[in-house]
Chains A and B, each alone.
Chain A
Amino acid sequence: MKANIRKIAVFVEETQSEMGRKVDPPTRRAAAVAVIENPCAGKYVEDLSELMTIGEELGELLAQRAVAALGISAHTAESYGKAAAVGENGEIEHAAAILHPKLGAPVRKVLGKGAALIPSSKKRGGLGVALDIPLGHKDAAFVRSHFDGMEVRINDAPRANEIMVAVAITDSGRPLARVGGLTKDQIKGEDGLR
C-alpha cells in the first residue's frame, strides 16, 4: 500500500420510517472513509501521480469496505458517490488527483458494473469538517429516486497534513421517493445516463 493510512471509518445508515410512515424495505447506505497522510502537503508539487496511485488503491479498499458493511452482494448496489477533504496544508488539487484519474475503475470492478459517472465533491477544511458525499444511481445518472447525499465527518480529521477520502455505496434510493422522473426499473444502464 502506498497510502499511509491513519484510520478507516465505516458508517452504515438504515432508515426505517420517515414522518411516521414505514420505509419498507428500509433504505441503507454506507460510507467508508480513509484518513491518509498527504505526501504533497506544505509545498507545491507539480506531478501528482503519487496521489493518483493512492486513489486507485483506496477505490478498491473503500468500495470493498462499504459493500461489506452493507452485507450485500456487490452487484446489488444501486448508487454511489465519492468525496475528499484536504487538510489545511494541502491543495484542492490533491483531492482531485485522488478522486478523478484512477479511483473510479476499481470501485466499478468491485461492484461488477457502474456505467454512470461517480458523483463527487471536494473541499479543504479542518478537523471535523463535514463531507457531503453526493450519490447517484451507478448505471443511470438520471434515476431521480437515487439523487441523494450522505454527510460524514470524523472529529479528528483531516489534520493539516492529511486527506480524508470517502466512497459511499447504497442498496437503495431515498426513503419514500416520490418526485417522479426516471425510475430504476426503466433504465437501460448502457450510456450511464438512462
Chain B
Amino acid sequence: MPEVAVRKKLTAVEEIFHEGGPAVKVPLRRAVALVVIRNPYAGSFVPDIEGFMDDLKPLGLDLAKSLVKALGGDATMVEGYGKGAIVGSAGELEHGALWHVPGGYAMREVLGGAKAIVASTKKVGGPGTRLDVPITHINASYVRSHFDAMEVGLADAPRADEILLALVMTTGPRVHARVGGLKASEIKGEDGLR
C-alpha cells in the first residue's frame, strides 16, 4: 500500500453577492479544497492501482469536512458539489480516476447521504494548470439552477510526480439563475436525478 504523501493543501471560499443584477440576501458561497499528493505510480505503467483508492479515503473525508467547515460548519447548507483531479506529467489520466470513489463517497458521507452522482472532471497537466470543476445539485442532478463550475488550480502544482485532487461544495443556485428547468423545490431526491 503506497503512502499518501501530502505536500500542500489549499482551501478557497468565494462569496458572491451579485453579478451585475440585484444583490442577493444570502450570498452564494462556493468552496474548494485542493490537496497535492505524491503520485506513487508516476514514471512507469503500473497495472494494479486500485488499492490506492482505499488509501485515499481518509484524505477524502478530511477534505470534505474541511469544506463544510469553510462554508460555516453546517452540512445542511450544502446544495451543490463536484470533484476533479489534475495528474502531473509523469502520470496517466487513469491515476486521476482513483479519486472518484474516495472523493465522491467522502462528500456523500459528510453530507448525510447525498443522492446525486458527483459531477467530475480530470486531466493531465503541468504546474499552474486550471481545472473547471463541474457542480450539480447534491440530491437531483437535473436541478438546472445548480449547474455551475468552479475554476481551481495552484501556481506550483502538480509537479510531474504529483496529483492535485479537488473537492468543491456550494450553498445554492447560481446567483442570478433564471433559465427555468427543474427547481430545487420540486425534486423528489430519491433516484439522484429528479
Contact = CB atoms under 8 A, between A and B. Distances in A.
B76 to A, nearest CB: 22
B156 to A, nearest CB: 8
A15 interface: yes
Contacts of B154: 13
Interface stretch (A1-9, A98-106, A118-126): A1-9
Interface string A151-170: 10011000000000000000
Give the interface SS of chain A, mostly helix, strand, loop or mixed: strand
B7 A10 contact: no
Contact of B10 (A8, A11, A17, A20): A11
Interface residues of B, number: 20
Interface stretch (B14-22, B43-51, B112-120, B135-143): B14-22
A13 B66 CA distance: 13
B130 interface: yes
A7 B17 contact: yes
Contacts of A15: 7-8
A9 B17 contact: no
A86 to B, nearest CB: 18
Contacts of A151: 155
B8 A6 contact: no
A10 B130 CA distance: 17
B6 A16 contact: yes
A14 B70 CA distance: 14
B26 interface: no
B12 A12 contact: yes
A115 interface: no
B6 A6 contact: no
Contact of B12 (A11, A14, A16): A11
A6 B12 contact: no
Interface of B: 5-20, 130, 151, 154-155
Given A6-B17, A10-B13, A12-B12, 10 more contacts: A6-B18, A7-B14, A7-B15, A9-B13, A11-B11, A13-B154, A15-B7, A17-B8, A18-B7, A69-B11
Chain A to chain B: the 3 pairs with minimum beta-carbon distance, closest first: A155-B151, A151-B155, A11-B12
Interface of A: 5-18, 20, 69, 128, 130, 151, 154-155
